[in-house]
Amino acid sequence: QDPDVLRALWANVLSWIVSTFAPSYMHRLLPPCAEEEASICLSSDNKDDKKTLCISIGRPGGLEQLRLVKLKDGVVTVGYNLTEFCPPPFTPRVDGSNLIPPGCVILNNEAFSVNYADCCIRWGLYESAKRFVGWPIVPGFDIAGTVDRVGSNCDLKPGDRVFGISLFGAYSSRVLVPIDQLRRIPDNITMTEAASLPAVSLTALHALSLAGHFPNKSKFLNKSILIHSAAGGVGSMLVQMSKILGLSPVVGVVGSSSKVNEAKALGCDVVIDKGSDDLWKAAECRR
């Protein structure tokens, strides 16, 4: 067995046991965070407070390991691809534009999405999270908000509505992020809608690229495609992208009858309910 998996499993079991049967000792499983403000006041109604709120995970475990933290003045979260500036998940003080790395902005993050990968991070089973960040970690990839401050060499300005990807660190009210990981939000898309798109869309596009369907789509016109979890995050993007690329028929697989209509609404020509159908027999009949 993989020793890392066994260690993560033990940490999860220990966290559950303590939180369930000895919750008063739970604080011993929550390592202190050096960047955390000494006195956390999460009930403050001061809207001018520029201190960053984030969700931090100190060690592998269940939901009980999620901790809402207020960071010190000028400290924001950051992904692992800015290690030449600082190690993740927290920056030093960056409350002046001259302290922000070139080509980066501080984003007032208004929405982020929750992906299955974030659960794997919390369990201690996400390899790149362990390799590039470690503990503590602020999970999350998808971000959407308004630009607060900008560094040099930026074509964005304060107040711009943008969305994009942070390589961890997205569960935060303020994030330091390179501008090449951001795009402006169209006027007809809300912040929450924008935050739901990046990770699943890019994953779907990457899958289509690996399969040869993108960007050279012409030779795949009218070719069939089978999409698992067609009503899920990545699956729903794959269905819509496949229709745009001209793949046909688009066959979607769902896990229950309650998702059949949703998959059809997304654009599936055929939907297989593997809860009631023989998946591979049904797929073979629809080739």
Query: Per residue in 31-59, pLDDT tens?
Result: 666 555 543 444 444 454 578 999 999 88
Is residue 33 within 8 Å of 69, Cβ to Cβ?
yes
80: closest CA among 124, 149, 131? 131
Say which residues have a Cβ less than 8 Å from residue 99's Cβ, sequence separation at least 6: 74, 92, 93
Q: Choose between 272 and 40: higher pLDDT.
A: 272
* Stronger pLDDT, 5 or 86, i.e. the higher one: 86
Domains of the chain: 33-58+66-196 (3.90.180.10), 199-285 (3.40.50.720)
**3-state SS class at 214:** coil
Rounded to an integer, what distance in angstroms lies between the CA atom of residue 96 and that of residue 11? 40
Across the strands, what pairs with 107? 147, 175
Beta bridge partners of 165: 142
Give yes or no for a cis peptide into 139 (omega within 30° of 0): no
185 Cβ partners below 8 Å, 6+ apart? 144, 161, 162, 163, 191, 194
Mean pLDDT of 77-85: 92
Rg, the chain, Cα only = 22
Residues 6+ apart with CB under 8 A from 142: 112, 113, 115, 163, 165, 170, 195, 196, 197, 198, 199
56 and 136 Cβ atoms separated by less than 8 Å: yes
Alpha-carbon torsion angle 123, 126, 128, 130, nearest 10: 30
Residue 27, pLDDT above cutoff 50: yes
- Tokens representing residue 245 in the block: 């690329």
The stretch 102-117 carries a mean pLDDT of 95
Q: Lowest-pLDDT range, 110-124, 197-211, 241-255, 269-283?
A: 269-283
